[in-house]
Amino acid sequence: MSDKELVKIAFSAMEKAYAPYSGYTVGAALLTANNTVYTGCNVENAAYGPTNCAERTAFFKAISEGERAFQKIAVVGGKNCNVTEMFMPCGVCRQVMAEFCDGDFEIIVAKSEDDFKTFTLKELLPFGFSKNNVKD
Binding site for ligand THU (CB under 6 A): 19, 22, 24, 26, 42, 44, 51, 53-55, 89-90, 93
- Minimum separation from the CB atom of position 90 to ligand THU (A): 4
Cβ partners under 8 Å of residue 30, min gap 6: 37, 38, 39, 40, 55, 58, 59, 62, 70, 72, 73
- Asked if 123 is an active-site residue, the reply is no
**Active-site residue, from 5, 15, 44, 55:** 55
Is residue 50 classed exposed, middle or buried when 0-12, 13-18 and 19+ CB atoms within 10 A define those classes? exposed
Q: Beta 70-79 vs 106-112: how paired, if at all?
A: parallel
Query: In 3D, which of 83, 71, 64, 62 has the Cα closest to residue 15?
Result: 83
* Closest distance to ligand THU from the beta carbon of 53 (Å): 3
Nearer to ligand THU, 10 or 31 (CB): 10
Q: Closest CB to ligand THU among 1 and 86?
A: 86
Q: 14 or 31: whose CB is closer to ligand THU? A: 14
Query: Which residues are marked as active site?
Result: 55
